[in-house]
Amino acid sequence: MIRRTRLILGMVVLGMVIVTCVFIFSLRNSHTPSSRLAQESARVPDSVLHKNDLGTTRLTSVPANYAVDPEIVKLGADLTDESMVKLIPESIPMRMRIARDVNTLRHEDTATSVKMLSEVEMYYWPGYPKEMTMVRIPFLHDVGQWDVESILSNRRVLKILAECSKMSKKDAARIVRDELRAALAAYKLMFEAEWNSVLHARQDHPIVGKTQYGAGPSLQISNNPDHSPTLCGLRFKILSLMVVAGNLGLAEAKDEVAAVTKMAVEQRDQFYYSQEGTEADRYNMLQNAGIYNRQVLMTANYGMSSGSFGGGAWEQRRLTTFNSQVTPYDLLSRGGGPIPPDYSKGSISVWVHKPCGDQEFDEFMTNHK
């Protein structure tokens, strides 16, 4: 009886592993520019497109049954620019999505944009492809890179960087400081509740509770209709504000930066050395829901000092403005796409620390307290 039970359990676990591998493979393929572009273009009705005398596909009107806000059509300059649309009708749905996001951001003042950083979808669209990583504690040196790319892909982050840089440091620090403090308090409660749910699943589930495999937390990556924050959204908001505070040298937010850093290191110590759950549970919780991102923490803390960025440990990124036609992260330009990033409205310089391990992080923090 025992041997039969073990055999059945082994078959179930093997089936779960196979299904997971197939899902991950299909998910990775869905993030390639060509497949995503084809999926988007398949939703465009012929009545939306019109070829002008030059043979260039242009946006004309949106039918009533097409699920796009008609206000988007009014943004003609963003949707029908010859240099952007060119001869690529497949780009129209993406351009419409970009125009919708830009239109939303144009109507936000700086304080509202900072508050709305917890809207999670802009971190995932366009986002950045996420490669499969090895479940390993301590973290490998490049674990935090995907978070950095996702933050820099968010047009709302670009808007905040540009607008806060034009304010006095005192005013910019006040906005960042207040939002960091509020976000961290809400995040702490949601993080603890999510980890408790993972542990309860281990205790109560008849199969999951007895296997070493685990998916960790279940994270929502879509916005709530009422704009209330999600755990994933609050996490990205905190990390984004740390990047902003560090790059702009907002020293008056030093206490809040220190509080975030303290919680992040406490999370690391808890999930590195705790025996609760499985290693896979702890790894996924810390990586996907935690705020222990060494690159972001080092960027923020370095910016609190009077030193200037530069040197071999730092990487400088040249990004577009939030209202550019195409950013380096949009599917139209990413990975050798057909349209280059649009710097016609200016550019934004952002510094981030290069990937590093725990030892380098600890030494850095000792020198920059």
pLDDT digits (tens, 9 = 90+) for 179-225: 999 999 999 999 999 999 988 887 776 555 555 555 577 889 999 99
- pLDDT greater than 70 at residue 169: yes
Q: Is residue 58 part of a domain?
A: yes
Tokens for 161?
């960087």
Give mean pLDDT, residues 265-276.
Answer: 94
Q: What is residue 52's three-state secondary structure?
A: coil
Q: Is residue 283 part of a domain?
A: yes
The predicted pLDDT at position 17 comes to 55
State whether 224 and 291 are in the same domain. yes
State whether 51 and 16 are in the same domain. no
Q: Is residue 36 part of a domain?
A: no
* Residue of higher predicted confidence among 156 and 311: 156
* Residue 143 pLDDT grade (very low, low, confident, very high; cuts 50, 70, 90): very high
Give mean pLDDT, residues 118-132.
Answer: 88
Rounded percentage of the chain residues whose pLDDT exceeds 70: 72
- pLDDT greater than 80 at residue 320: yes
**Strand duo 57-59 + 49-51: pairing:** antiparallel
Residue with tokens 């040298």: 249
Question: Of the spans 43-52, 128-137, 266-275, 328-337, which averages the highest pLDDT?
Answer: 266-275
Q: Is residue 194 part of a domain?
A: yes
* Residue 126 pLDDT grade (very low, low, confident, very high; cuts 50, 70, 90): confident
Q: What is residue 36's three-state secondary structure?
A: helix
CA-closest candidate to residue 258, choices 344, 157, 177: 177
What range defines the domain where residue 97 resides? 43-107
Q: Is residue 248 part of a domain?
A: yes
Q: Which of 60, 82, 107 is the last residue of a domain?
A: 107
Residue with tokens 């299909």: 26
State whether 67 and 101 are in the same domain. yes
The predicted pLDDT at position 131 comes to 73
The predicted pLDDT at position 33 comes to 41
State whether 132 and 214 are in the same domain. yes
Q: Is residue 254 part of a domain?
A: yes
State whether 335 and 295 are in the same domain. yes
- What is each CA distance from 344 to 72, 96, 160, 327, in whole angstroms? 21, 19, 19, 11
What value, to the nearest 5°, has the Cα angle with vertex 118 and ends 116 and 120?
Answer: 115
Task: Please give the Cα distance from 321 to 340 (Å, whole number).
Answer: 14
63: phi > 0 → left, psi -120 to 50 → alpha, else beta; which? beta
Total tally of structural domains belonging to the chain: 3
State whether 68 and 82 are in the same domain. yes
State whether 47 and 96 are in the same domain. yes
The predicted pLDDT at position 201 comes to 80
Give mean pLDDT, residues 99-127.
Answer: 95
State whether 84 and 174 are in the same domain. no
- pTM equals 0.78
Q: Which of 107, 123, 139 is the last residue of a domain?
A: 107
* Residue 21 pLDDT grade (very low, low, confident, very high; cuts 50, 70, 90): low
Q: How many residues does the chain have?
A: 369
State whether 98 and 127 are in the same domain. no
Give mean pLDDT, residues 122-147.
Answer: 87
The predicted pLDDT at position 90 comes to 65
Give mean pLDDT, residues 12-17.
Answer: 57
Residue 86 near residue 56, CB atoms below 8 Å: yes
The predicted pLDDT at position 42 comes to 40
The predicted pLDDT at position 16 comes to 63
Rounded percentage of the chain residues whose pLDDT exceeds 90: 55
State whether 246 and 357 are in the same domain. yes
Q: Is residue 135 part of a domain?
A: yes
State whether 98 and 153 are in the same domain. no
* Residue of higher predicted confidence among 227 and 127: 227
Residue 191 near residue 216, CB atoms below 8 Å: no
Average confidence score pLDDT of the chain: 80
Task: Please give the Cα distance from 325 to 343 (Å, whole number).
Answer: 9
The predicted pLDDT at position 287 comes to 94
Residue 267 near residue 213, CB atoms below 8 Å: no
The predicted pLDDT at position 27 comes to 44
The predicted pLDDT at position 34 comes to 41
The predicted pLDDT at position 115 comes to 97
Q: Is residue 246 part of a domain?
A: yes
- pLDDT greater than 80 at residue 344: yes
State whether 270 and 124 are in the same domain. yes
The predicted pLDDT at position 134 comes to 75
The predicted pLDDT at position 337 comes to 73
Per-residue pLDDT of 32-79, as tens digits, reads 444 444 444 444 344 433 333 333 333 333 334 334 444 444 444 454
